[in-house]
């Protein structure tokens, strides 16, 4: 079948997203997008204003996918569900998680992260316990560092080989249980320490 020569902007964006999702941001090129579309590169260049604009759209789509993981109900507790969603995203969307966490993409992803952090800090105001705003912010950072470390571990090339990763992190159900119990332990201990100051 001859290559298709006419594509919508949406076709090109979808193909670009799939390239990044399956191969990583370093693979994003007109040649790889064209290959994904079974096309020559000429139609790709005619639609692309700039690679930076395309990267911004990919960042938006990646955050939308991350949000879908974070807002899924695993336990019924929004904060715990968000943490579980982050770890599952890191495990299942290897290249997209790396894209979001690569320092070369800081200017692309920083606005999304800052907005998300503000929302989480606002949500923490509704948590039970007699904690100051400073204590709640500290709790957020403790959980964030823990979850980020766990995400890094399950996303690493070593872990993705399935040879070294502990069985507890191979199955989603085990991750859900581990993160749920860990978040509960962190919250219980943190609250106990800070309410008794």
Q: Which two tokens stand for residue 63?
A: 């955050």
- pLDDT tens track for 89-129: 999 999 999 999 999 988 888 999 999 888 888 887 777 66
Residue 166: the pLDDT is: 62
Give the burial class of 140: count Cβ atoms within 10 A of its Cβ; 0-12 exposed, 13-18 middle, 19 or more buried: middle
pLDDT at position 94, please?
93
Please identify every stretch of the chain with a pLDDT value under 70, giving residue numbers as ranges. 1-5, 128-129, 157-168, 196-197
Model pLDDT, residue 159: 61
User: Residue 14: its pLDDT value, please?
Assistant: 94
- Decide: 183 and 79 in contact? Cβ < 8 Å: yes
Q: Long-range contacts: 74-79, Cβ < 8 Å, 24+?
A: 74/176, 74/180, 75/176, 75/180, 78/123, 79/120, 79/123, 79/124, 79/127, 79/143, 79/183
pTM (two decimals): 0.87
- Residue-level pLDDT at 125: 79
């Amino acid at each position: 079948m001859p290559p298709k020569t006419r594509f919508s902007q949406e076709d090109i964006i979808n193909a670009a997203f799939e390239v990044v999702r399956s191969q990583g941001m370093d693979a994003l090129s007109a040649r790889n997008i064209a290959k994904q579309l079974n096309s020559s590169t000429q139609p790709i260049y005619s639609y692309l204003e700039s690679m930076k604009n395309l990267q911004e759209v990919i960042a938006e789509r990646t955050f939308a996918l991350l949000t879908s993981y974070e807002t899924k109900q695993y336990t019924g507790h929004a904060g715990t569900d968000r943490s579980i969603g982050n770890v599952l995203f890191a495990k299942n969307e290897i290249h997209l998680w790396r894209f979001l966490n690569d320092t070369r993409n800081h200017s692309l992803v920083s606005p999304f992260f800052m907005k998300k952090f503000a929302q989480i800090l606002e949500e923490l105001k509704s948590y039970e316990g007699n904690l100051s705003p400073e204590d709640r912010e500290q709790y957020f950072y403790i959980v964030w560092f823990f979850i980020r470390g766990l995400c890094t571990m399950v996303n690493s090339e070593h872990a993705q080989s399935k040879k070294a990763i502990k069985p507890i992190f191979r199955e989603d159900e085990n991750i859900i249980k581990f993160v749920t119990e860990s978040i509960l332990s962190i919250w219980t201990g943190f609250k106990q320490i800070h309410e008794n100051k």
